[in-house]
């Protein structure tokens, strides 16, 4: 049960090469302080979390994230304790040490999850609370019956049969049935970069029949790029400068894409006064004395900006899966800047795997319906909820639950946190924000939607294993207690020896543990239907 934790603990090196007062010295990891400079050489395991500030390399993060390919790291990139430097040498600055590192946090989450009980475990506790006094009563009745009706020495027969009933009915297997499967299942999940917070989340994940994906950063790469610029009442350069100036104060990925595109060509951008972010619509501000906007069609209609032929142009861009953004100043349309976020190459396969599990897949996005439907068609998604404001994502999840669905919500951003908390199972994917991760029941260390299907498969395998254990434990007691009470003695003269009863009780526990350990080798494959 502790194998996964031992493997995680084993990832942390015992020593690290720290630079102090211009000298490189080897120190125990426990003595590393914050902001210390550490040299990482080829083949070294990174001792603590930090940021690279000199040099570059490729780091194998597979034991934390499950990603098989080493990740390129350079100045400004974050590295994590326990990961392996494959080639190259670099200097890093320690930012999180001791219990604050990502590895320590993962180990603690696994420990807490393994110690927690799902609803089925609490049900077993209630059954055990009734089972124990019933068994004691059966043992007392057995003693009395044998004492009154057994042949001489009747007292010996009564004591032996009464004790045999108590021995064979010891509820060890019943008590082990749930926690041992939870421990192994959570440990196996951790090895695949799936962090399950508690047993309840593990059980609910196995019951999910609808998975809702936020589009940006989950089904797409989360790194949008400017794909086309269509000026209307100005030239392309001026259109981009106005768009970039407005987006400079925004944290939206689409806005950052425009900034990065313009930064490579332009110097200083014009200043913006009265900047205002309009949730789900765009941004506005005053530039060079003009009231300017950048956003979607809904914002333009609200501000009474005439679109003319630009409306059809935007529809054509949206049909290709791009997100057109209108730019306007003083009520006049200046043009369109179109941005697209590339779909992850594994997204379609992930959706097909979920379909193979009998799960409906829904995409939730603030994009226009045309853009969302183009993306959904390429991936094979069943249902699209488009043009949803960030504040309404939670309501959409609640509405699906009102239809009788067991909903898992997959997201990575701050605006996904309420929906993650509302869902029956909240799943934070990849390098999501801390807010999203804290609101989720399951955190995926990989940025791949494939891990969603892996988590559900592991949950179902664990639940199936628990039911197998419980079935075996109950069958054992249903058959064993009557035999221990001597029900076979009148017809066949067979009376169970207490030593044999003890061995049978031990074997029932061994059987439960052995069955649970099969989860360590559970297959995470699923038949994919060609119809999907």
CB atoms within 10 A of CB 161: 24
Q: Which of 374, 47, 68, 111 is nearest to 220 (CA)?
A: 374
Residues 6 or more apart whose CB falls under 8 angstroms from that of 119 comprise: 200, 203
Task: Examine residue 153 and say whether the peptide bond preceding it is cis (omega within 30 degrees of 0).
Answer: yes
CB hemisphere CA count around 254 (13 angstroms): 23
Task: Tell me the pLDDT tens digit for each residue of 352-404.
Answer: 999 999 999 999 887 778 888 888 888 899 899 888 876 688 888 889 989 99
pLDDT average, residue stretch 241-250: 86
Do 56 and 50 meet the contact criterion of CB atoms below 8 Å apart?
A: no
For the annotated catalytic residues, the residue numbers are 214
- pLDDT at residue number 525: 65
Which residue blocks in 280-368 are alpha helix, DSSP H? 297-302, 310-319, 347-356
Does residue 158 carry a pLDDT above 50? yes
Task: Tell me the pLDDT tens digit for each residue of 412-441.
Answer: 765 677 788 888 888 888 654 454 456 678
What's this model's pTM, rounded to 2 decimal places? 0.67
**Domain at 8-101: CATH code:** 2.70.150.10
- pLDDT at residue number 435: 47
Mean residue pLDDT of the chain comes to 83
Does residue 527 carry a pLDDT above 70? no
pLDDT average, residue stretch 193-203: 82
Residues 6 or more apart whose CB falls under 8 angstroms from that of 195 comprise: 106, 109, 110, 113, 189, 442, 443, 444, 445
Percent over 90 (pLDDT), the chain = 17
Q: Where residue 4 falls among pLDDT bands split at 50, 70, 90?
A: low
Range 190-220+344-456: architecture per CATH: 3-Layer(aba) Sandwich (3.40)
Which residue blocks in 22-171 are alpha helix, DSSP H? 62-65, 102-115, 119-149, 154-168
The two tokens of residue 475 are 């069958």
Domain range list for the chain: 8-101, 113-182+462-521, 190-220+344-456, 221-342
Do 440 and 455 meet the contact criterion of CB atoms below 8 Å apart?
A: no
> In the CATH hierarchy, which fold is given to the domain comprising 221-342?
Calcium-transporting ATPase, cytoplasmic domain N (3.40.1110)
- pLDDT at residue number 495: 82
């Amino acid at each position: 049960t502790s194998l996964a934790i031992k493997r995680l603990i084993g990832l942390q090196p015992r020593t690290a090469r720290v630079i102090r007062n211009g000298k490189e010295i080897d120190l125990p990891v426990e003595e590393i302080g914050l902001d210390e400079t550490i040299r990482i050489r080829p083949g070294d395991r990174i001792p603590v979390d930090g940021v690279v500030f000199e040099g570059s390399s490729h780091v194998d993060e597979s034991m934390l994230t499950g990603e098989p390919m080493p990740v390129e790291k350079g100045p400004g990139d974050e590295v994590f304790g326990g990961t392996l430097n494959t080639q190259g040498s670099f200097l890093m600055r320690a930012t999180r040490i001791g219990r604050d590192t990502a590895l320590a946090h993962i180990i603690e989450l696994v420990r807490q999850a393994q110690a927690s009980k799902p609803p089925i475990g609490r049900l077993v506790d209630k059954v055990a609370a009734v089972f124990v006094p019933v068994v004691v009563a059966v043992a007392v009745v057995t003693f009395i019956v044998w004492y009154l009706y057994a042949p001489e020495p009747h007292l010996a027969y009564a004591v032996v049969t009464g004790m045999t009933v108590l021995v064979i009915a010891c509820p060890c297997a019943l008590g082990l049935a749930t926690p041992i499967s939870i421990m192994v299942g959570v440990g196996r999940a951790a090895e695949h970069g799936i962090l399950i917070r508690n047993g309840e989340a593990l059980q609910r994940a196995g019951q999910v029949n609808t998975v809702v994906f936020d589009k940006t950063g989950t089904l797409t790469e989360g790194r949008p790029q400017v794909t086309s610029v269509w000026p209307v009442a100005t030239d392309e350069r001026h259109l981009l400068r106005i768009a970039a100036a407005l987006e400079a104060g925004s944290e939206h990925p689409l806005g950052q894409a425009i900034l990065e595109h313009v930064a490579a060509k332009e110097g200083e951008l014009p200043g913006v006064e009265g900047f205002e972010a309009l949730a789900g619509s765009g941004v506005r501000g005053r530039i060079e004395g003009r009231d300017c906007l950048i956003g979607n069609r809904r914002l333009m209609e609200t501000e009474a900006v005439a679109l003319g032929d630009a409306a059809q142009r935007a529809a054509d861009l949206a049909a290709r899966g791009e997100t057109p953004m209108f730019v306007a100043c003083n009520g006049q349309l200046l043009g369109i800047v179109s941005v697209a976020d590339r779909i992850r190459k594994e997204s379609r396969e992930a959706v097909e795997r979920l379909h193979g599990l009998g799960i409906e897949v829904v995409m939730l996005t603030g994009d226009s319906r045309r853009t969302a439907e183009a993306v959904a068609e390429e991936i094979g998604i069943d249902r699209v909820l488009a043009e949803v404001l960030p504040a309404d994502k939670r309501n959409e999840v609640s509405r699906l639950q009102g239809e009788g669905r067991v909903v898992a919500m997959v997201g990575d951003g701050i605006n996904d946190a309420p929906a993650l908390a509302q869902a029956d199972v909240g799943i934070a994917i990849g390098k999501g924000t801390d807010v999203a991760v804290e609101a989720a029941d399951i955190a995926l260390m990989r940025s791949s939607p494939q891990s969603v299907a892996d988590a559900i498969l592991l949950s179902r395998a664990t639940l199936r294993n628990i039911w197998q254990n419980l079935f075996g434990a109950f069958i054992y007691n249903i058959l064993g207690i009557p035999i221990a009470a001597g029900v076979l003695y009148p017809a066949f003269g067979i009376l169970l020896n207490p030593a044999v009863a003890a061995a049978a009780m031990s074997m029932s526990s061994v059987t439960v543990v052995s069955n649970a350990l099969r989860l360590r080798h559970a297959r995470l494959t699923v038949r994919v239907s060609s119809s999907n």
